[in-house]
Copies of this chain bind each other. A is one copy, B any other.
Amino acid sequence: MFREKIKVLDCTIRDGGLINDHDFDLRFVRAVYKALAEAGVDYMEIGYKNSKKLFDPKKFGKWKFCDDDDIRKVIEGIESKTKISVMVDVDRVDMDDICLKKDSPVDMVRVATYIKDVDKAIHLENNFAVKGYETAVNIMAISKTLDNELTECLYQLEQESKAKIIYIVDSFGSLYQETTEFLIKKAKHILKTKEVGIHAHNNQQLAFANSIEAIIHDANYVDSTIYGMGRAAGNCPTELLLGFLKNPKYDIRPVLDVISKEFIPLREKMEWGYIIPHAITGILDEHPRTAIALRESDKKEDYREFWESLVGEDDGE
């Protein structure tokens, strides 16, 4: 028995791009798009729309900017019902670069925001909405959010935002099922006119479990990535999510294929997944940056020292 409203948004290229400065070649991105299209995945998020005034295009891959013409090169010639999503960060996008939806291959724009910037996020998201895009707001670092501030934020989104989906983002991979249940129930209670989504990180091997937990409590939008690829520990694996969902429109086999052919070799060159320093930042509810730095150092396997450095930082008051 399946819930038809559940939509899967695969953000392999977008979240995976945080590992390699968004520098995937066109062939690879097309292979991912083709697999997702054949699998019946609802959305593919391909990267960020960042202003080239703020970031030098020579220093980053294409998917940090997601020019419409580059997106067209990904999708052309591939039969698909999969919609295209891009992410934008507050203060990093130039609205002069953004055309109307009717002239763009992009279907959805998701605004990622910390709770302190929610006013800016709503303003930005509404600008995309009036241009005709489906819009969403992703509330990052939810595990560090005080309950009264989250309540206010959710009411404000319900009243002022045109976004059709509000995502709870477990940026640090620190949530357990009970807190996921609490947060999703809270969001569903306040957001009467919107859908609720979940974006989980896999530091503690709980990204899939927390996504199931969110689904149980009526979140209808779920983020995933193929073979769990994403920054640091990565995300809820698309293949597991499709295995769990019973909607016959999904077909796991093209995803299995692209893992065999593309992701197994890629994993030799790029690092993500269950890696102890990332588990440690998840357990301690910390930003992954310290673990990422450790993995790039010559102390990459010195786990005890890393644990003690994080626990020791907290010197009172």
Q: Which residues of A contact B (CB under 8 A)?
A: 176-178, 202, 204-210, 212-213, 216, 227-228, 237, 239-240, 243-244, 252-253, 256-257, 259-260, 264, 273-274, 276, 279-280, 283, 301-304, 307-308
Which chain B positions have C-beta within 8 A of A304? 253, 256-257, 260
Q: Is the CB of B176 within 8 A of A239?
A: no
Number of copies of this kind of chain in the complex: 2
Which chain B positions have C-beta within 8 A of A308? 253
Which chain B positions have C-beta within 8 A of A280? 256
Task: Return the contact of A209 from the options B209, B227, B239, B302 (Cβ within 8 A).
Answer: B209
Task: Return the contact of A264 from the options B210, B257, B301 (Cβ within 8 A).
Answer: B301
Question: In whole Å, how far is A39's beta carbon from the nearest beta carbon of chain B?
Answer: 12
CA distance A207 to B210 in the complex (A): 13
CA distance A9 to B274 in the complex (A): 22
Task: Return the contact of A259 from the options B228, B244, B303 (Cβ within 8 A).
Answer: B303
CA distance A307 to B260 in the complex (A): 12
Contact status of A206 and B204, CB under 8 A, knowing A301-B264, A303-B257: no
Closest to A203 in B: B240
